[in-house]
Amino acid sequence: MKALVIDDAPDIRIYVRSLLEKWGYEAIDASEGLEGLARIRDSGIPIVVCDWEMPGMSGPDFCRAIRKAEMGHYVYVILLTGRSEKADLVEGLNAGADDFLSKPLDAQVLNARVRVAKRIVHLEQRLAEQNRQLQSSRNKLQQAYDQIQSDLTAAARIQRQMLPTSDRVLLPLRAEWLFLPAAQVSGDSFNFFELTPDRIGFYHLDVSGHGIPAALLSASLNRSLVPGGGPGVAAQADFLDPAMFLTDLNRQLSDADTEVENFATVVYGTLDKRTGEGEIALAGHPLPIIHRRHGEIEYLKPGGLPVGMFPEVAYDSQQFRLDAGERLILYSDGVTECQDAGGEAFGDTQLQAVATTDTPASSQSFTDRLADSLREWRGSSDFEDDISVLVLERQAEAGPES
């Protein structure tokens, strides 16, 4: 281990240096503080024995300079002094000295004090090594975390690309929608598509749980629920028969031998663009709402269990009809379960209220108003659960409203 002796008196300097060499240290000497500092900087010396009284930079000055400098390692300083006043000791310690050795020098005591220094330097070096290792694992963790974040952002982007971009395919029906994912990736999804020239298919789904597993199931369901979306259930399912469709989908997803981790609540339906006649099947989803022309709210009847739980579950279809100026509202429970600061849920009543305050004169769409109401209720834009809404509307006939 390297050690440095700083003393303006050559005899003491050489004496101490030769003692240190005898004890196995790689000893260097300097005749004044600045030179000492340069030596430490050049050769990373951890132990210094330094005289107190020196012309120019004194021992305490040297200590202060060492503590201020960035040496990259700890420097243990023993001050040599003839002083024994309490005030002097305090000054030395305050300046940054680690230990004192009184003059005249006693070789045995010096040996013991330098051994203490060596022990402490070893401890410091071990600590520094551990810190380096910690820092290195921290950096690796940070890299992994950054990678996950960027993957999640990419996943969220892909997910958004699965959502509809335009309702042109529905014309003369119209659609509007709202999608406010809670985490980066969401378990909610919805879409609509043409089945025959007159009939459209539509779905709204909510996968249990959050994050990656929910998003993956949601993505796979999206493929199954769109004609031509991929192999599997979509290839053979009858998209025109909602009950049969959900029964097949559920059988495909449920496996009696695997433990239920994720399931999905789904609404799947078809709707005739000209007549407004529709057929719909529900799997554990919040009950869709029909907003009638004169403002009444009707709920569809409950359906079957969520898909992905039990393989042998039968689903029923129910008929509905949208007249001109009426709309079907599909939503996830993230809407009705959205909690305010006090833990109170937004609830069905408020959802109905937002739906029915709509007037033809209102320039803001229902989904925009709902988004505003939910943010206001929540007190922020951070939602605990995914919020999504799909509205299918049969537009009012041209001409004055009755």
Binding pattern to other proteins, positions 267-306, x when CB under 8 A? -----------------x-x---------------xxxxx
Which of residues 259 and 401 has its CB atom nearest to other proteins in the complex? Answer: 259
Shortest Å distance, C-beta 251 to other proteins: 16
**What tokens appear for 250 in the block?**
């559920």
Binding pattern to other proteins, positions 236-255, x when CB under 8 A? --------------------
**What tokens appear for 347 in the block?**
């609830």
Which of residues 229 and 284 has its CB atom nearest to other proteins in the complex? Answer: 284
Q: Which stretch binds other proteins (CB under 8 A): 142-150, 156-164, 203-211, 219-227?
A: 203-211
Binding pattern to other proteins, positions 314-353, x when CB under 8 A? -------------------x--------------------
Residue 310 binds to other proteins (criterion: CB under 8 A): yes
Give bridge partners of residue 30 from the DSSP assignment.
6
Give bridge partners of residue 79 from the DSSP assignment.
50, 100
Distance (Å, rounded) from C-alpha 221 to C-alpha 230? 10
Angle at 80 between CA 78 and CA 86, to 5 degrees: 90
Residue 209 binds to other proteins (criterion: CB under 8 A): yes
Distance (Å, rounded) from C-alpha 164 to C-alpha 177? 9
Count the neighbouring beta carbons within 10 Å of the beta carbon of residue 349.
9
Which of residues 193 and 310 has its CB atom nearest to other proteins in the complex? Answer: 310
Count the neighbouring beta carbons within 10 Å of the beta carbon of residue 279.
18
The pairing of beta strand 199-207 with beta strand 188-194: antiparallel
Residue 208 binds to other proteins (criterion: CB under 8 A): yes
Range list of β-strands (E), 184-316: 188-194, 199-207, 264-272, 277-283, 289-291, 297-299
Burial 84-105 (b: 16+ CB within 10 A, else e): eeeebeebbeebbbbbbbeeee
Residue 259 binds to other proteins (criterion: CB under 8 A): yes
Which of residues 95 and 282 has its CB atom nearest to other proteins in the complex? Answer: 282
Which of residues 187 and 229 has its CB atom nearest to other proteins in the complex? Answer: 187
Positions that interact with other proteins (CB under 8 A)? 206, 208-210, 256, 259-263, 265, 284, 286, 302-306, 309-310, 333, 385
